[in-house]
Amino acid sequence: MALNRRRRSAIKPCSRKVIFISLLIVLPITIIGLINHYEKITYFLRPLWDTPPQPLNYLPHYYAENVSTDRLCHLHGWSIRPHPRRVYDAIIFSNELDLLEIRWRELLPYVTKFIILECNTTFTGIPKPLFFAQNRERFRFAEGKIVYGTIPGKKLVPGSEHEDPFLFEAKHRRAMNDLIRHSGISDGDLLIISDTDEMPSHHAVKLLQWCEEIPMELHLQMSNYLYSFEFHVDDTSWKVSVHVYNSKWTMYRHSRHTDLILADSGWHCSFCFRKLSDFVFKMKAYSHADRVRRKDFLDFDRIQRIICEGKDLFDMLPEEYTFHELIKKMGPIPRSKSAVNLPGNLVEDADRFRYLLPGGCLREE
Ligand SMILES: *[C@@H]1O[C@H](CO)[C@@H](O)[C@H](O)[C@H]1NC(C)=O
Ligand SMILES: *[C@@H]1O[C@H](CO)[C@@H](O)[C@H](O)[C@H]1NC(C)=O
């Protein structure tokens, strides 16, 4: 015992110094690390602090080329109508001109009116040109079907930059409801609510417009892609909804309306831009612009490298509710060589849209 104590006190002064110096080095590094990676750590621990949304009820979806619509309706437990419902496709537009063209060409034969609303600032208050108005000539193929509206942007009063972008989105929704009401829509018509980059497949829309007894409100499951159709992320996109319109209660709202969702009904292509400058614009315009935590996030070389590697532009972890999913999704998205089951006009026009297809990750400035 005495020996022990003597030995310990013999070591003590030296080891105390080591511990003190180590702490002096390790502690600030740990604190800086925690601050820098605060978001990553909270994302990694999401399965512990966040509860997943109510599960959706997936309806099986049947489709193959050359199977009659009558047969398809019956496979879903529905009957065919004597004539199709009129379809109204409503989007709030930012700057995704190529995706808008692909979307409208995909849906053109089935849609009665394309309702499109745009604004001269972004959700975060950055002034932007009215891209659709400036490029309207390009959409002449749909001219008779376009219902176009604009909404004045957010005024950026100095000091008010931190006004909630989500409130501004609510103003867009109200303007959209007005535009829909004045588009010629009647009760019983179909209304599609989605973002420009969430594209329903033509056959899903055709099915819903021709079948009787479909649900009054239905979400559409879409495959999620990032940067292009080369990077298939997962199939969890559910926000798009289709409504049998009722002037009393149908509301433009890009969120959960019902538990019902029709499987495999289209494509959600996020950050699918032709130019690197479009990526920078979107990163700044995003409702989550706070994710641009460092200036070099907006650097062209960095963005180009990340696109080709299938990594995350904001250097964030995937948003998942279980550790199993989170770990499965960490790291780059695997490349796909498939350009099968994509919008028909995209494949037809593959030379113009090379950057959206396998092997096309290089972008223009
Ligand atoms: C497509 O349908 C038509 C008419 O039902 C049929 O005659 C034809 O053989 C079908 N083609 C294929 C490739 O299945
Ligand atoms: C947006 O449009 C409104 C109305 O046309 C105009 O008053 C406003 O100055 C414009 N804002 C920008 C940023 O151009």
From the CA of 120, give the closest atom in ligand 2: 1
Q: Which residue has the higher pLDDT, 11 or 214?
A: 214
pLDDT tens profile 318-363: 777 777 777 777 889 999 999 999 999 999 999 999 999 999 999 9
Tell me the pLDDT band of 287, cut-offs 50, 70 and 90.
low
Q: Which ligand has an atom closest to residue 65 CA?
A: 1
Indicate whether 1 pLDDT > 60: no
253-269 average pLDDT score: 95
Q: Which ligand has an atom closest to residue 128 CA?
A: 2
189-206 average pLDDT score: 98
188-199 average pLDDT score: 97
Q: How far is the CA of 232 from the centre of ligand 2 (A)?
A: 38
Q: Which ligand has an atom closest to residue 155 CA?
A: 2
Q: How far is the CA of 159 from the centre of ligand 2 (A)?
A: 19
Q: How far is the CA of 71 from the centre of ligand 1 (A)?
A: 13
Q: Are 299 and 20 spatial neighbours (Cβ–Cβ below 8 Å)?
A: no
From the CA of 119, give the closest atom in ligand 2: 1
284-299 average pLDDT score: 73
Tell me the pLDDT band of 21, cut-offs 50, 70 and 90.
confident
> Residue 348: in which H helix or E strand, if any?
helix 344-348
Q: Are 361 and 308 spatial neighbours (Cβ–Cβ below 8 Å)?
A: yes
List pocket residues of ligand 2, CB cut-off 6 Å. Answer: 120-121, 127, 152-153
Distances (CA, A) of 332 to 45, 113, 292, 299, 315: 20, 39, 19, 19, 11
Q: How far is the CA of 68 from the centre of ligand 1 (A)?
A: 10
From the CA of 127, give the closest atom in ligand 2: 13
Tell me the pLDDT band of 4, cut-offs 50, 70 and 90.
low
Bridging pattern class, strands 241-244 and 217-220: antiparallel
Q: How far is the CA of 309 from the centre of ligand 2 (A)?
A: 39
Q: Which residue among 120, 121, 151 is best mutated to probe the pocket of ligand 2, counting the most ligand atoms within 8 A of its Cβ?
A: 120
Predicted structure pTM score: 0.86
255-273 average pLDDT score: 96
> Residue 45's pLDDT is what?
77
> Residue 360's pLDDT is what?
95
Q: Which of 21, 37, 22, 77 is nearest to 213 (CA)?
A: 77
Q: How far is the CA of 66 from the centre of ligand 1 (A)?
A: 6
Indicate whether 8 pLDDT > 60: no
Query: Which residues on neighbouring strands pair with residue 192, listed in sequence order?
Result: 89, 242
pLDDT tens profile 26-66: 888 888 877 777 777 777 777 777 777 789 999 999 999 99
Cα–Cα distance measured from residue 222 to residue 204, given in angstroms and rounded to the nearest whole number: 11
Q: Which ligand has an atom closest to residue 70 CA?
A: 1
